[in-house]
Structure 1
Amino acid sequence: MDYSEKYNQALIVQTNKTAVELQEARKLVIDATQGFPGQTSVQAHIGIRMIGELDLKAFSNVCRQKFPKDDAEVESVKLCSKWQNEISNPNWHPFVVSTVNRKQSEVIREDDKKLQELKEEYGEEAYAAVTTALTELNEHNSSGSRVPFPELWNHKEGRIANIKEIVQHVIQLSKAIK
């Protein structure tokens, strides 16, 4: 029993070490590829995406309908900035724990006052942009921080890129530079 416990502990330590190494490698690739030409081209389905960053286009669309043409862009930037700050506020927690198939996860509370006011005043598109950013940060950021962060993203499949895809992408970028 003692041997099994020690072996299990060694596996946990090794798994944690490997996870840290992978995160460091992902960060290195993100930092290195930000300056590569063509890394965000249409052909590249792997690129850098800011997880948890609001889509300004959603707010622009809403503000073009609510404000005069001259004021719409300024108002959309103000509104987007306001909601990005709300998302980053650690005192606001618009989630509730839900159990689905015996698995617990946090989902957006339907009755959250701030989100309901946003939806009523600015519509479904702005509401969806905020809830999407909140959900992404909650799912992909293990530290609990709600500050947007860069991640290597598979745009074709709408998910975080896996290590194999990242390596293939870096090889393509290096060949393109040569």
Structure 2
Amino acid sequence: MNPNHKIESDKLADGLAKKIVEEIEKRANEMTKQKNEELKKVRKEKNEELKKVRKELKQIITNKDKMLKKVIKEKKEELEKGFRDLSGEGSVIGVKRMGEVDGKPFLKVCEQRFNGENVGLQHAMLCSEWQKNINDSAWYPFKLVVTGEKMKEVVDDEDDKLKKLSEELGEDVMNAVKTALEELNDFNPSGRYSVPALWNFEHGRKATLSEGIAHMTQQIKNFKRQRT
């Protein structure tokens, strides 16, 4: 073979081999790109499915939580009704109306200032007047204070109406009104009216559901023993 022909033949072979390699690499890159796109699409679909499942699970948990809270609320209401029927004065667990002003400090002041029938009349009038004030949403004797990293709403001791009440009827009466306001803010912040709550009178706090059930069971046993 002519040397020149051999050189040209080798060049053609090299060029053809190079083109074949380039074509293979091009197709490989296209296939890789296509596979990557398919993987991205699959991942996107799986992520969307996962988000959907998470959303459905969250909704199921939320619904169950709402149902559980509703059941607990209904059971507490049943207990409260039962306590009103079975519990007597001096019971450890009973129903307390949160936001209802304690009339004892008012009665003490009235007994010191009035005589005879006027005591009961003035006592009833004062309790009624201040319960009306407590329930009046136009009166807002609260302020915000920082406790740790949280803001908390508390009764403002510098409120003009409370200061005047303390001056006229004494600190005990003012504290009774403050307590009723605090109870409303804790137990019924969306409204200014008293609400019933299971109460542990021995420890001066809200009673747990288990405490209420245990006390109610004991009350029923006592009631049955009295009848036999």
Under a length normalisation based on structure 1, what TM-score does the superposition of the two structures give?
0.88
Q: Distance between the aligned counterparts of 1:48 and 1:109, measured in 2?
A: 28
- State whether residues 134 and 181 of structure 2, in contact with CA within 8 Å, keep that contact through their aligned partners in structure 1: yes
The reply on whether 1:40 has 2:88 as its aligned counterpart is: yes
1:62-91: CA deviation from partner (whole Å, max 9, x where unpaired): 2223x2323233212111110000011111
Higher helix share: 2
Secondary structure, aligned partner of 2:137:
coil
Does the C-alpha gap of structure 1 residues 92 and 84 become closer, same or farther in structure 2, counting only changes over 3 Å? same
Residue 90 of structure 1 aligns with which residue? Answer: 137
Q: Distance between the aligned counterparts of 1:30 and 1:136, measured in 2?
A: 17
1:37-116 map, 5 Å: 39-42=87-90, 44-65=91-112, 67-70=113-116, 71-116=118-163
Does the C-alpha gap of structure 1 residues 41 and 122 become closer, same or farther in structure 2, counting only changes over 3 Å? closer
Does the C-alpha gap of structure 1 residues 6 and 105 become closer, same or farther in structure 2, counting only changes over 3 Å? farther
Residue 27 of structure 1 aligns with which residue? Answer: 77
Q: Distance between the aligned counterparts of 2:62 and 2:200, measured in 1?
A: 29
Q: Distance between the aligned counterparts of 1:20 and 1:118, measured in 2?
A: 40
1:95 counterpart letter in structure 2: F
Residue 203 of structure 2 aligns with which residue? Answer: 157
1:120-153: CA deviation from partner (whole Å, max 9, x where unpaired): 11110110000000001110125x2221222211
Q: Distance between the aligned counterparts of 1:139 and 1:68, measured in 2?
A: 35
- State whether residues 152 and 166 of structure 1, in contact with CA within 8 Å, keep that contact through their aligned partners in structure 2: yes
Query: Which of 1 and 2 has higher RCO (CA within 8 Å, sep 6+)?
Result: 1
- State whether residues 62 and 125 of structure 1, in contact with CA within 8 Å, keep that contact through their aligned partners in structure 2: no
Give the ranges of 4+ consecutive aligned residues of structure 1 lying more than 4 Å apart after TM superposition: none
2:223 counterpart letter in structure 1: I
1:28 counterpart letter in structure 2: E
- State whether residues 188 and 194 of structure 2, in contact with CA within 8 Å, keep that contact through their aligned partners in structure 1: no
1:26 counterpart letter in structure 2: K
Structure 2 unmatched runs, 5+: 1-49
Residue 177 of structure 1 aligns with which residue? Answer: 223
Secondary structure, aligned partner of 2:85:
coil
Under a length normalisation based on structure 2, what TM-score does the superposition of the two structures give?
0.70
1:94-122: CA deviation from partner (whole Å, max 9, x where unpaired): 11122201122210112211111111111
The reply on whether 1:133 has 2:180 as its aligned counterpart is: yes
RMSD over aligned Cα atoms: 1.7
1:123 counterpart letter in structure 2: G
